[in-house]
Amino acid sequence: FLAVIGKSGCGKSTLLRLLAGLDRPTSGSLTFGAAEEGHSRTRFMFQEPRLLPWASVVKNVEIGLTGIAGGAEARQRALAMLDEVGLADRADEWPSVLSGGQKQRVALARALVGQPQILALDEPLGALDALTRIEMQQLLERIWLDQKFTAVLVTHDVGEAVALADRVVVIGAGRIALDLDVPVARPRRHGSAELAHIEGTILDRLFSRA
**Average confidence (pLDDT) over 4-20:** 87
Residue 189 has pLDDT above 70, yes or no: yes
Determine the structural domain holding residue 175 and report its residue range: 2-206
pLDDT value of position 34 = 60
pLDDT value of position 37 = 55
Contact 77, 115 (CB under 8 A): no
In sign, the C-alpha dihedral spanning 45, 50, 54, 57 is: positive
Q: What is the CATH number of the domain that holds 104?
A: 3.40.50.300
Rounded percentage of the chain residues whose pLDDT exceeds 70: 95
CA 208: distance to chain centroid? 27
For the entire predicted model, the pTM comes to 0.89
17-48: pLDDT as tens digits: 888 888 888 888 888 766 555 556 889 998 89
Among residues 142, 157, 128, which one has the least CA distance to residue 188?
Answer: 142
Number of domains, the chain:
1
* DSSP tag of 2: E
Buried (b) or exposed (e) across 54-81, using 16+ Cβ within 10 A?
eebbbbbbbebbeeebeeeebbebbbeb
146-176: pLDDT as tens digits: 998 999 999 989 999 999 999 999 998 778 8
- Residues 6 or more apart whose Cβ sits within 8 Å of residue 126: 47, 155, 156, 157
In sign, the C-alpha dihedral spanning 7, 108, 167, 29 is: negative
Distance CA 163, CA 154 (A): 13
pLDDT value of position 56 = 97
Distance CA 203, CA 210 (A): 9
Three-class DSSP category at 137? helix
45-59: pLDDT as tens digits: 988 999 999 999 999
Among residues 53, 111, 54, which one has the least CA distance to residue 82?
Answer: 111
Distance CA 67, CA 93 (A): 24
CA distances from 6 to 127, 160, 180, 196 (A): 18, 13, 14, 18
Mean pLDDT of the chain: 89
